[in-house]
């Protein structure tokens, strides 16, 4: 998490917003938490795009680096969700940590900045989910292509096949045949 995000998350109700009610401070903190979460989701989308570019460029280093970034960002998103739930509880304990329930509880009293931050987070999350779906398809096809390549590479054309096909039997003197199937 960069210093700007850490600074936003560390702001407290005292000192920063003098003259505002406790609920106004909690709303402002929630709005900032949504903005930080939106930025983290945006960074995740960018990491997914870098991952796809690494696959296209056949760069294992770029793919590995993007995987590390994605893992780090997923942990950061989980932390941001927990922080958001705490901020929602501070505004409205009956909302149960849900933004939708909070907006229903507040009705028309919900600040416009909070609504905008919520809409932006949802939009960014949906876009990122689509990118993740594309990456899942690209990566699975890449793995399949790699497995097919290895199979072709290590299977020799002169090697005998491990199974017999119908009609392929060795001609022998008849030893080993069962004469009576009832024993």
Measured CA angle at 164 (ends 163, 166), to 5 deg = 140
Q: What is the pLDDT of residue 36?
A: 97
Q: What is the pLDDT of residue 109?
A: 83
Environment class of residue 14 by beta-carbon count within 10 Å: exposed (0-12), middle (13-18) or buried (19+)? exposed
Both tokens of 147, joined, read 């497995």
Give the highest mean pLDDT range of 105-114, 153-162, 169-178: 105-114
pLDDT digits (tens, 9 = 90+) for 2-35: 555 544 444 444 444 455 788 889 899 999 999 9
Q: Predicted confidence band at 155 (pLDDT cuts at 50, 70, 90)?
A: confident
């Amino acid at each position: 998490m960069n210093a700007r995000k850490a600074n936003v998350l560390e702001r407290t109700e005292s000192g920063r917003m003098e003259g505002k009610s406790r609920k106004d401070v909690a709303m402002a903190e929630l709005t900032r938490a949504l903005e930080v979460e939106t930025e983290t989701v945006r960074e995740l989308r960018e990491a997914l795009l870098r991952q796809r570019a690494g696959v296209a460029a056949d760069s294992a280093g770029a793919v590995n680096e993007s995987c590390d970034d994605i893992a780090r960002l997923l942990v950061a998103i989980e932390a941001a969700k927990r922080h958001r739930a705490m901020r929602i509880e501070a505004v409205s304990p009956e909302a149960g940590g849900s933004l939708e329930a909070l907006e229903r509880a507040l009705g028309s009293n919900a600040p416009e900045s909070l609504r905008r931050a919520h809409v932006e987070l949802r939009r960014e999350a949906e876009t990122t989910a689509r990118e993740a779906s594309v990456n899942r398809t690209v990566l699975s096809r890449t793995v399949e292509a790699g497995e097919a390549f290895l199979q072709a590479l290590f299977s020799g054309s002169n090697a005998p096949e491990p199974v017999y096909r119908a009609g392929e039997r060795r001609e022998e003197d008849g030893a080993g045949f069962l004469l009576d199937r009832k024993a």
